[in-house]
Amino acid sequence: MTLKTVDLRATNKFSKLFLDNMDGADQLKDFYGKAPNIENFKAQIEAKKFSAERRKILCQALDNQYQNLSISDSVATNLESLKNPNTFTVTTGHQLNLFTGPLYVIYKIVTVINTCERLSQAYPEYNFVPVYWMASEDHDFDEIDHFRFDGKKYQWKTNQTGAVGHFDLSDISELISAFPRVPDFFQSAYKEQNLAAAVRYYMNHLFGAYGLVVLDADDHDLKSILTPVIADDLINHSAKTLVDTPTKAINDLGYKTQVNSREVNFFYLEKGIRERIESDAAGFEVLNTELKFSKSDVLELIKS
């Protein structure tokens, strides 16, 4: 087999910031920990160790999410391995999509699987588990409500709103029936309770043999670990300062950053609602709703 590569710059598809970062430009080295070279993962492993209590919460959440799925020996081994303090994950994430979505999603998942294999060879004293983190709380349904196949656009039309992972699948049958030659595993996936469960089902079918673990972070116990971060963001707005300082430094070097921080970087989430929270002198409000909270109300919400 002949393998040909194309220089990233020749594609004219990437920003100067991305290209210089990939080239290891000296002026950008202060903005990240270590370059993603295999020899640098040893220090990364040491930096990423976390408590047995958090590992237990993660494993219990995964056990709950997988309890109704038929899994491969590889997935079972990896779920058990995650209980071991010498096990680490390589994670990619993406929006939920209809069927598998753009080919880029597959590339992401194959990359983390291959990276785990390389790391296992380089560091045999550790275990490495590939993880697909589902962005089930995303609410940009317009971005994922359709796909194209054989020159034709197929679209799921629904009036549901809020986090797309919560969308029930009772009105997706028209789309499924309009699409020719739907494989049986997709048919089974779209009989699941909601879109998040459907995506977990078909990703497990497609990549379970390679040990891929699918995680839905829309989980009460997982979020409980994050409560200090949520409170800090809403009350102290620390994230904005932490992001704004290096963003200004990068822009001063002549680059253009793509993402900016807000004072509050969390959303209010319940059935049918996934809206930004903003702070003001009176407390907090949820955009596009009538919901308003005092500081004490918000702190109680975070706890619960």
pLDDT in tens, 41-98: 999 998 888 899 999 999 999 999 999 899 999 999 999 999 999 999 999 999 999 9
Count of C-beta atoms within a 10 Å radius of residue 29: 12
Residue-wise pLDDT tens digits, 134-157: 999 998 899 999 988 888 899 999
217-49-83 Cα angle (round to 5) = 65
255 in helix, strand or coil? coil
**189, two tokens:** 């996936």
Task: Report whether pLDDT(260) > 90.
Answer: no
pLDDT of residue 167: 95
Question: Would you place residue 179 in the very low, low, confident or very high pLDDT band (cuts 50, 70, 90)?
Answer: confident
Task: Report whether pLDDT(275) > 90.
Answer: yes
From CA 60, how far away is CA 302, in angstroms rounded? Answer: 21
pLDDT of residue 178: 85
Read off the pLDDT of each residue in 101-115 and give the average, rounded to a whole number. Answer: 94
Q: What is the mean pLDDT of the chain?
A: 93
Count of C-beta atoms within a 10 Å radius of residue 179: 15
Which amino acid makes up residue 169?
L
Length of the chain: 304
Write down all domains in the chain, each with its CATH number in brackets: 1-32+226-304 (no CATH), 34-218 (3.40.50)
From CA 264, how far away is CA 241, in angstroms rounded? Answer: 11
**Cα-based distances in Å from 208 to 150, 180, 192, 234:** 28, 25, 18, 38
Beta-bridge partners for 293: 284
Task: Report whether pLDDT(180) > 80.
Answer: no
Task: Return the percent helix, strand and coil in the chain, to nearest 5.
Answer: 50, 15, 35
**106, two tokens:** 């597959």
Task: Say which residue the tokens 């058990």 belong to.
Answer: 80
